[in-house]
Amino acid sequence: MTPSDPVIDRANGAEELLPIPSVGRVFRCLRQVRWADVDSGGRLRLDALARLLQDVATDDTAELALPDAEAWVVRRTLIEQVQAAEHDETLELATFCSGIGGRWAERRISITGEFGARIEAVALWVHLDPLSGRPKRLPARFGTEFAAAAAGREVTARQTIALVPRHAPDVSVRPWYPRSTDIDILDHVNNAIGWSVVEQVLADQLMHTGFNPGSAGDPRAGAFRAAVEFRDAIGRELVESGLPLSVTTEVIDRCTNLTLWSPDGTTPHLSAQFEPLT
pLDDT in tens, 229-269: 999 999 999 999 999 999 999 999 999 999 999 999 999 99
Helix (H, G, I), strand (E, B) or coil at 227: strand
Rounded to whole angstroms, the Cα distance separating 168 from 146 reads 45
pLDDT of residue 210: 56
Which amino acid belongs to residue 12? N
Q: What is the DSSP letter of 145?
A: H
Residue 68, C-beta contacts closer than 8 angstroms, at least 6 positions apart? 139, 140, 141
* Residue 8 banded pLDDT, cuts 50, 70, 90: low
Q: Which residue has the higher pLDDT, 234 or 211?
A: 234
Percent of the chain with pLDDT over 90: 74
* Residue 3 banded pLDDT, cuts 50, 70, 90: very low
Which amino acid belongs to residue 230? F
Q: Can you list the domains of the chain with their CATH numbers?
A: 1-158 (3.10.129.10), 159-278 (3.10.129.10)
* Residue 215 banded pLDDT, cuts 50, 70, 90: low
How far is CA 149 from its chain centroid?
21
- On whether the CB atoms of residues 111 and 56 are closer than 8 A, the answer is no
* Residue 43 banded pLDDT, cuts 50, 70, 90: very high
- 274 - beta bridge partners? 226, 256
pLDDT tens readout for residues 15-32: 999 999 999 999 999 999
Instruction: Name the average pLDDT for the chain.
Output: 90
Mean pLDDT, range 133-141, rounded to an integer: 84
pLDDT tens readout for residues 172-193: 999 999 999 999 988 999 999 9
Percent of the chain with pLDDT over 70: 92
How far is CA 256 from its chain centroid?
16
pLDDT of residue 274: 97
What predicted TM-score, i.e. pTM, was given to this entire model?
0.92
Helix (H, G, I), strand (E, B) or coil at 273: strand
pLDDT tens readout for residues 154-164: 999 999 999 99
- On whether the CB atoms of residues 236 and 187 are closer than 8 A, the answer is yes
Measured in degrees and rounded to the nearest 5, phi and psi for residue 258 equal -145, 155
pLDDT of residue 211: 53
pLDDT tens readout for residues 65-120: 766 656 889 999 999 999 999 999 999 999 999 999 999 999 999 999 999 999 99
Residue 74 is inside which H or E element, if any?
strand 71-83
Strand intervals (E) in 129-222? 155-156, 172-176
- On whether the CB atoms of residues 97 and 109 are closer than 8 A, the answer is no
Residues found in the chain:
278
- 91 - beta bridge partners? 31, 113
Residue 226 is inside which H or E element, if any?
strand 224-230
Rounded to whole angstroms, the Cα distance separating 69 from 274 reads 32
* Residue 5 banded pLDDT, cuts 50, 70, 90: very low
Q: In the structure, how many helices (H) and strands (E) does the chain have?
A: 4, 12
Characterize the bridge pairing of strands 245-252 and 172-176: antiparallel
Which amino acid belongs to residue 197? V
